[in-house]
Amino acid sequence: MARKPQSTPTADTYSVLQDAYNHFNKHLFGSTLPQCLITLSAEMRKAYGYYRHHPFKGTKKKDQIIDEIALNPFTFTGRTDREIYSTLVHEMVHLWQHHFGELKTKTAHDREWAAKMEEIGLMPSSTGAPGGKRTGRRVSHYIIEGGRFDLAEVEFMGVIEWRGAPLECKKRGSKRTKYTCPTCNLNAYGKPDIHLICGDCNETMEA
């Protein structure tokens, strides 16, 4: 009889996130979303997560390119699994829009994205609470009670065991500041307090 593979933090963490993606893809998107690479990243320290279109290329099949959904594990602490899964679905809506939406604007959170969010049971809000703006560069959400996400999440039994410990901010000797485009996540470096515009998205880059 074959021995059951030993549980590891890596396997436990990524398997539950993949299971969650499959579950919500089925119940909220009719299993229409393509598979992507789910990663854990603290690249954008204050962001719960982000979506990138086609940053990964495979080696087995020619021209095989896939999307990325990244979750910041250092924002897991103090949040429930339910809230973390809602962030995953938030980014899945970005993936849906890129593949199936009309992409009428370059704003990361536009009206098309907001309408899809509300349809699947997440209410867009710049404050993460009722009354916030539905669209813009920085938009969070809150869970609609009795909505589709609410009902689908109750059925999902996966548990996120590992959470990032709080990061300590350490000052470095370099005086250069990192700037990031809020739409495409392009990075640039320069002096503090300068004004940079992303040439692709025409968005103000954020320090």
Using CA atoms of 37, 41, 43, 45 in order, give the dihedral in degrees to the nearest 10: 130
Across 14-28, average pLDDT: 98
Identify the residue with better confidence: 100 or 168. 100
Contacts (Cβ under 8 Å, ≥6 apart) of 78: none
Report strand pairing: 177-180 vs 140-143: unpaired
Where do we find the tokens 């890596």?
A: 10
Exposed / middle / buried, residue 205 (Cβ in 10 Å: 0-12, 13-18, 19+) = buried
Q: What three-state secondary structure class fits 5? A: coil
Return the SS3 of 55.
strand
pLDDT of residue 1: 52
| Strand, coil or helix: 119 | helix
Lowest mean pLDDT among 40-44, 105-109, 117-121, 130-134: 105-109
* Residue 21, both tokens: 């993606």
Residue 6 CB contacts under 8 Å (≥ 6 apart), including other chains: none
Using pLDDT thresholds of 50, 70 and 90, give the confidence band for residue 205: confident
Examine the pLDDT at 167 and tell me if it is beyond 70. Answer: no
Nearest to 88 by CA among 158, 42, 24, 144: 24
Are the C-beta atoms of residues 205 and 175 closer than 8 Å to each other?
A: no
How far apart (Å, rounded) are the C-alpha atoms in residues 78 and 99? 33
Residues belonging to the chain: 207
∠ CA 51-43-78, rounded to 5° = 85
Q: What percent of the chain has pLDDT over 70?
A: 88
Mean pLDDT of 132-161: 96
With contact defined as beta carbons under 8 Å apart, do 205 and 188 qualify? yes
Nearest residue to 125 via CA among 139, 113, 114, 138: 139
pLDDT on residue 63: 77
